[in-house]
Amino acid sequence: MNEQLMSFLPMIVIFVLFWFLLVRPQQKKMKEHKTMLEALQKGDEVVTQAGMIGRITKLDDNNVTVEVAKNVEIQFQR
């Protein structure tokens, strides 16, 4: 039985390394992103993934309205 356990040991070690090097950092990054999205407020300056810079003018549960130029507003999903 000890031999069987030893044969699974490398697989267990690889799984643990995979978890700490890939999965856990990604979960941390997703949590930080969610916290940042929840903290958005009217008047905050934002940069979209496309590189557009603007100021938040309106927020609701699913959408954010951003003013990118005077009297030019674009609505994004949160």
Domain that holds residue 48: 41-78
Residues 28, 53 within the same domain: no
How many angstroms separate the CA atoms of 13 and 5, rounded?
Answer: 12
How many angstroms separate the CA atoms of 23 and 26, rounded?
Answer: 5
* pLDDT tens digits, one per residue of 13-36: 999 999 999 999 999 999 999 999
* CA-based torsion, 48, 52, 58, 64: positive or negative: negative
The pTM (predicted TM-score) of the whole model is 0.64
Residues 48, 66 within the same domain: yes
How many angstroms separate the CA atoms of 49 and 75, rounded?
Answer: 14
User: What does the block give as tokens for 34?
Assistant: 């969610």
Residues 45, 33 within the same domain: no
Residues 22, 35 within the same domain: yes
At 4, the pLDDT band (50, 70, 90 cuts) reads confident
Task: Count how many domains the chain has.
Answer: 2
